[in-house]
Structure 1
């Protein structure tokens, strides 16, 4: 089974469309989005509409979550700058974001072994928690045990990695950050998503049996940046796309 996982589009339509073209060419059996559809760019409705049209199971990210608070404060409705990105969202899409789940759990049974895949935006403890490649190992193992996860997939930091941790019983647990489709922060301006392949040999006892492919997708970064500069959003957001920081 081939599963496509992506996160942190942040309303960057050119990057999202390029990612979808590449993803569709890979013909995944299932697709999941780990949140942050909006913020930082001018195309939130186009992103949400396509996610909904495709029926992609999607988590709520911290930027998706903040939409509700922004629209309930009358003062913020009149603010320009960064909050303009949230004011662009249609009412029906606001309602959609507000009802997205916090986590998705998939349980597989293969070769008599149960394997739990858990998806979260930041972490299973907090929507905006950063779980980085160098986060304390004991903390991460405690998090995985608490979530009953053999494989934990997250976003939020915009920095992709695959980390394998050995447990006391000789099994292995995996944590994978998907990177970001629309706002990379690892110095590479290309969008990033993950293809996960599960097969008959996938097992918690074999640390190499989980196949993870980070796919980097080129798109017209300059055109995307210029569309920000022509809007009410701060120009620094455009430069952040160019710098991938």
Structure 2
């Protein structure tokens, strides 16, 4: 079972289209999006429309949630500022964002062993909490136990990693950060998404019970940057794409 997972598109359509082309070639068995479809770029409707057309199960990210408190029209350019990206979103797509779930939970049974996958944007505790590769291990394990998660997949930080953790009873749990499709922050401007593979011998008793592949794909960063520079969005949004930081 191969599962494609991606997050933090942030309305970057050139990156999103490149990811979809690569992902379609991977032929995953299932696809999930962990949120933040919008913000920081000028193509929120195009991204949301494609997600909806494909019927991709999607979580609400913190930027998606922010849209709920912003009106569809800015009274002035000063008011719009960094929120200009939110003002671009059509009302039907705003309604879609408002109704997205906070978490997705999947339960698999492999060799009679239950394997729980939990997807969240920031964490299972908060939509905007950062779970980083060096977040306190005991804290993360407590969260995994609380969520009854053997594999926790998150986004939000835009910094990809796979972190196996051993519990007090010798079981192995996994935390996977997907990185970002539309706004990488790890110094690599290529978009990032994940293929998570469950095998017929997948188990919490072994460290390599699942396979996590981080897929990095080049896209036309400069075309994406120019689109921002020619819009009302702050120019530092464009700089962030170039620097991937």
Q: Please report the TM-score for the alignment, with normalisation by the length of structure 2.
A: 0.98
- For 1:76 and 1:119, how far apart are their aligned partners in 2? 38
8 Å Cα contact 1:39/1:85 also seen in 2: yes
Partner residue, 1:85: 85
Offset at residue 180 of structure 1 (A): 0.1
Shift of 1:80: 2.5
Partner of 2:22: 22
Q: CA deviation at 1:237?
A: 0.4
Q: Answer whether contact 2:65 2:97 (CA < 8 A) is retained.
A: yes
- Kept in 2: contact 1:70–1:76 (CA 8 A): no
**Residue in 2 that maps onto 1:133:** 133
Alpha-carbon separation, structure 1, partners of 2:76 and 2:91: 16
Report what 2:43 is aligned to. Answer: 43
Give the alignment of 1:117-128 within 5 angstroms.
117-128=117-128
In 1, distance between residues paired with 2:220 and 2:204? 40
CA contact (8 A) 2:74 2:80 kept: no
Is the 8 Å Cα contact of residues 72 and 88 (structure 2) preserved in structure 1?
no
Counterpart of 1:202? Answer: 202
Compared CA separation, residues 87 and 73, structure 1 to 2 (3 A): closer
Counterpart Cα distance in 1 of 2:220 and 2:110:
42
The 5 Å alignment of 1:47-66 reads 47-66=47-66
* 2:175 aligned residue: 175
Find the counterpart in structure 2 of residue 109 from structure 1: 109
Mapped to 2, the partners of 1:230 and 1:75 lie a distance apart of 20
- Match in the other structure for 1:153: 153
- In the TM superposition, what is the alpha-carbon distance from 1:110 to its structure 2 partner? 1.1
Q: State how far apart, in whole Å, the 1-side matches of 2:34 and 2:181 are.
A: 11
Are residues 68 and 12 of structure 1, via their aligned partners in 2, closer, same or farther at CA, if it must alter by over 3 Å? Answer: same
Whole-Å Cα distance in 2 between the matches of residues 72 and 42 of structure 1?
14
- Map Cα deviations across residues 78-109 of structure 1 (whole Å, 9 max, x no partner): 71221110000000000000000000000011
What does residue 243 of structure 1 align with? 243
Stretches of structure 1 lacking an aligned partner (at least 5 in a row): none
Runs (4+) of structure 1 exceeding 2 A deviation are 72-78
Find the aligned partners of 2:185 and 2:129 in 1 and give their Cα distance.
Answer: 16
Aligned pairs for 1:215-234 (under 5 A) are: 215-234=215-234
- Structure 2 CA distance for aligned equivalents of residues 190 and 74 of structure 1: 33
Aligned-residue CA RMSD in angstroms? 1.4
**TM-score, length-normalised on structure 1?**
0.98
Matched positions, count = 245
Deviation at 1:46, TM superposition (A): 0.2
Shift in Å at residue 75 of structure 1? 6.4
